[in-house]
Amino acid sequence: MIGETIGKYKIVEHLGSGGMAEVYKAHHPGLDRYVAIKVLHSFLATEQDFLTRFKREAKAVAALRHPNIVQVYDFDLDKERDIYYMVMEFLEGTTLKVRLQELDQKGERMSLEEAVRITEAVGEALAYAHQRGMVHRDVKPANIMLTVDGDPILTDFGIAKMVSVSGLTASGAMMGTPAYISPEQGLGRTSDERSDIYSLGVVFYQLVTGILPFDADTPMGIVMKHISDPLPMPTAVVPDLPLGLERVIARVLAKSPDQRYQTVADFLADIRRAVAGQDITPPPAELTVVSTSLQETISAPLPGFISPETPPPAGPPAASPRRRIPWLPILLGGAALMAVIVLGVLALGVGQFGFFLTDATPSPPLVSSPAPDLAATRLAALEATISAPTPTGTASPDPTATLTPTPVPDLTATALAQCVYSMEITDDVGVWPSPLAPGRSFTKRWTVKNNGTCPWPDDCQLVFVSGEQMGGPDAMAVPPLQVDEEWEIQLDLAAPGADGTYSGVWQVQDAAGNALGDDLEVAVRVGPTPTPLPPTPTPTPEFTPTPQEPLGMSVPAFSGPCVIDVWAGTWGGTLAWSVWGGTGQFYYFVGGVGADAALPGPAWEFTTQTGRSILVKFFTTSAPASLLAPLPEGCCEGVEGRWVSPEGYEVVWRSVNYNQSNCP
């Protein structure tokens, strides 16, 4: 693609490849600057709901503003090539991965001061993102850039969730990189901020020791060690490491998310205390070993399998007696090999398990080398159990409990697993008037529709996720809409106290924090309000307007070029129209006829988020709002029209629906 143009950007150099994208250096001639373009692999575009997921996550990433997070400028679709791409700031420097490789080749280790500095910078970036509802899911040295000044910059925010390929997530596959993956990610469970904290802990361990805490010949072997092996203490590698730092590392790499640091801020605070020589409370001993419940999960027998410790069932004796001791080493090896397969199948109701390696070329699900005979016996028993007919009953598989001999699949859970929960915004009512006076109360409304395949769960919420909250709620309950059912969302808000342009984002989320559809955005401009035109005197009953011709108005159109702010992710302009006929005294409104909707003239200036359309109705009247409002029922419906009051006042209206492609 060198020399080709994508959108406004000319490709000048190939920077690298990954499992999800190719990265290029490109030039923006209009701004005369270089950018980095991440071109996502074309196979991702065929995945279900990818476009919706791409727009939602890219928009959220573009809203992040932190000195240690790479800035995203733009995201779009190249229709000719059918590829999606993200445009980011171009950083001169190298990755932390390359830096560690260079140190290893020299037989050196990073200084403790530099290790702490890098960890603090990346941790502060994660803390900022976590406060805004963003989880990285793939923290590793390859995603940490070091600028020429040595400043750490975290990259690839949101990419893992953006490309959460349906075929993988449905089968219990993991998003992340095995060497830095958290145990819960390795088990295919839902991950949250604490998974990022664990991955940052692995990076910190590697920075201070020069090696990874867990290594194996295969990716699956590494994941199994994260899940089940005790943590090798860093002082075994660096004997002079402060005891306090070792205690910090032991806690941040706890197997259970509940026993780890719950926030990045707590993790960084303990690092600073340990470096300063302050006492750090030692973590419980069980943090560094395999939990009892996890060990039971790994070693639990499959249905229909007779373990060496279990007496055989009554019946005819076997041809030869069972020998107990020779099976033990096979059991231990086979159990470890089958643990992840068992968990993935039972928890999610499917028979495959795979990895999504974010810094390697995508590959089919990994297949391990042939297992011992006992492992094959266990797998065969599992497959037989899954395929067995189930005339009645239900069961709720629990991946942490010992399996019973006769489980019955939960048919309801199986059906729900096929559900697609989705939301469509069918109406996005703008904020009027614009601009708002500082501190002024206003209402924002949307109408949303359940366009998925199943009713929404009972525990969905409308959640504030980023931007300016403007007095809105942190969360509010959402009714469990039936398929194709609509619901009007109303937020009572207040304009910020200072002039400027502001935006806030809410999402309809399920209990796991997954957004059901596009963001619900509030974009307002705060500033001096225009002086309204003086109302005309109330006419006497004998007065009847006698227009020479009916009042009319043109279709509102852009009166000048649009303003596109790539930094703020907004676009806007001024829509204006002309008027003729009538009595010669005109009044102008947007969104409705009322004092709050009045305009000083036949023009309206707006600003909205990139990608948003403007659906607005404008009014021209021959009388002020005090003589017209409220308008009678049935008035002013449709795209355009004219209505005359019993007193002879005229109201004409026009609706427009414009997006950024209509900009002059």
DSSP designation for 644? E
Instruction: Give residue 568's pLDDT band: very low, low, confident or very high (50, 70, 90).
Output: confident
Point out the domain boundary residue: 417, 446, 470.
Answer: 417
283 and 301 in a single domain? The answer is: no
The CA distance from 275 to 272, in Å, is 5
211 and 126 in a single domain? The answer is: yes
Q: In the chain, what percentage of residues exceed pLDDT 70?
A: 70
More confident residue, 271 or 626: 271
Mean pLDDT of 326-340: 46
The tens digit of pLDDT for each residue in 479-505 reads 989 988 998 898 989 888 888 878 888
Instruction: Give residue 351's pLDDT band: very low, low, confident or very high (50, 70, 90).
Output: very low
More confident residue, 225 or 358: 225
Buried b (16+ CB within 10 A) or exposed e, 331-346: beebbbbbbbbbbbbb
238 and 106 in a single domain? The answer is: yes
Q: Is residue 319 part of a domain?
A: no
The CA distance from 194 to 199, in Å, is 9
The tens digit of pLDDT for each residue in 101-126 reads 999 999 999 999 999 999 999 999 99
The tens digit of pLDDT for each residue in 222-257 reads 999 999 999 999 999 999 999 999 999 999 999 999
pLDDT of residue 151: 92
Q: Single out the residue of 650, 85, 139, 585 nearest to residue 358, CA to CA.
A: 139
pLDDT of residue 48: 55
Mean pLDDT of 601-618: 85
- Tokens standing for 99? 């830096």
Q: Is residue 611 part of a domain?
A: yes
pLDDT of residue 336: 46
The CA distance from 190 to 170, in Å, is 12
Instruction: Give residue 585's pLDDT band: very low, low, confident or very high (50, 70, 90).
Output: confident
pLDDT of residue 625: 83
Q: Could you tell me if 148 and 368 are in contact, meaning their C-beta atoms sit under 8 angstroms apart?
A: no
pLDDT of residue 535: 41
Q: What is the CATH number of the domain that holds 438?
A: 2.60.40.10
Task: Examine the residue annotation and report whether 138 is marked as an active-site residue of this protein.
Answer: yes
- Tokens standing for 231? 């943590």
Q: In the chain, what percentage of residues exceed pLDDT 90?
A: 25
Q: Identify any residues that bridge with 598 across adjacent strands, giving them in sequence order.
A: 589
- Tokens standing for 404? 């019973």
Q: Is residue 351 part of a domain?
A: yes
Point out the domain boundary residue: 492, 526, 560.
Answer: 526
Instruction: Give residue 570's pLDDT band: very low, low, confident or very high (50, 70, 90).
Output: confident
Q: Is residue 343 part of a domain?
A: yes
Q: Is residue 318 part of a domain?
A: no
482 and 572 in a single domain? The answer is: no
Q: Could you tell me if 267 and 248 are in contact, meaning their C-beta atoms sit under 8 angstroms apart?
A: yes
Q: How many domains does the chain have?
A: 5
Q: Single out the residue of 494, 413, 406, 404 nearest to residue 457, CA to CA.
A: 413
Q: Is residue 542 part of a domain?
A: no
Q: Is residue 492 part of a domain?
A: yes
Q: What is the CATH number of the domain that holds 262?
A: 1.10.510.10
398 and 449 in a single domain? The answer is: no
Instruction: Give residue 452's pLDDT band: very low, low, confident or very high (50, 70, 90).
Output: confident
- The catalytic residue among 32, 78, 82, 138 is 138
Q: Single out the residue of 613, 629, 619 nearest to residue 655, CA to CA.
A: 619
Q: Which residue range is the domain that position 19 belongs to?
A: 5-89
The CA distance from 499 to 435, in Å, is 9
560 and 499 in a single domain? The answer is: no
Q: Could you tell me if 569 and 610 are in contact, meaning their C-beta atoms sit under 8 angstroms apart?
A: yes
Q: Is residue 216 part of a domain?
A: yes
148 and 247 in a single domain? The answer is: yes
584 and 504 in a single domain? The answer is: no
**Distant-in-sequence, close-in-space partners of 650: CB < 8 Å, separation ≥ 6:** 545, 547, 550, 551, 582, 583, 621, 622, 642, 643, 644
**Distant-in-sequence, close-in-space partners of 469: CB < 8 Å, separation ≥ 6:** 504
Instruction: Give residue 287's pLDDT band: very low, low, confident or very high (50, 70, 90).
Output: low
157 and 272 in a single domain? The answer is: yes
The CA distance from 449 to 583, in Å, is 44
pLDDT of residue 168: 36
Q: What is the pTM of this model?
A: 0.48
Mean pLDDT of 15-34: 82
pLDDT of residue 432: 63
More confident residue, 24 or 80: 24
% helix / strand / coil in the chain, to the nearest 5?
A: 30, 25, 45
Q: What is the CATH number of the domain that holds 60?
A: 3.30.200.20
607 and 520 in a single domain? The answer is: no
The tens digit of pLDDT for each residue in 612-622 reads 788 889 999 98
More confident residue, 449 or 281: 449
pLDDT of residue 95: 92
Q: Which residue has the tokens 């509102």?
A: 556
Does pLDDT of 333 surpass 70? no
DSSP designation for 323? P
The tens digit of pLDDT for each residue in 504-547 reads 888 998 888 888 888 888 888 887 644 444 444 444 333 344 44
Point out the domain boundary residue: 526, 543, 560.
Answer: 526
262 and 151 in a single domain? The answer is: yes
pLDDT of residue 51: 66
Q: What is the mean pLDDT of the chain?
A: 74
pLDDT of residue 18: 64
Q: Could you tell me if 573 and 658 are in contact, meaning their C-beta atoms sit under 8 angstroms apart?
A: no
